[in-house]
Amino acid sequence: MNGSEKPITFCVFNWAGTRKFGTTLAQTVFQYTKNEGCGKTYFDPADPTPNKVKAPELMEKVLRANLVDILSLNENEAVFFASLINPEIERLKGKLGLEELAVESAKALAKHLDARIDLHATSLSASFTKGNGTVVPAFKVPVLRATGTGDAWNAGNIIGDAYGLPDAVRLTLANATAAYYISNPEAEHPTRSQLARFCNKLKGLWKTETDKS
Q: What are the boundaries of each domain within the chain?
A: 1-137, 139-205
1-137 belongs to CATH 3.40.50.300? no
* pTM metric for this prediction: 0.91
Ordered strands of the 132-137 beta sheet = 9-13, 40-44, 70-73, 116-120, 124-129, 132-137, 209-211
Written as tens digits, the pLDDT of the chain (213 aa) is 444 465 789 999 999 988 789 999 999 999 999 999 989 999 999 999 999 999 999 999 999 999 999 999 999 999 999 999 999 999 999 899 999 999 999 999 999 999 999 999 999 999 999 989 999 999 999 999 989 999 999 999 999 999 999 999 999 999 999 999 999 999 999 999 999 999 888 875 555 555 544
What is residue 211's predicted lDDT score, i.e. its pLDDT? 52
What is residue 1's predicted lDDT score, i.e. its pLDDT? 42
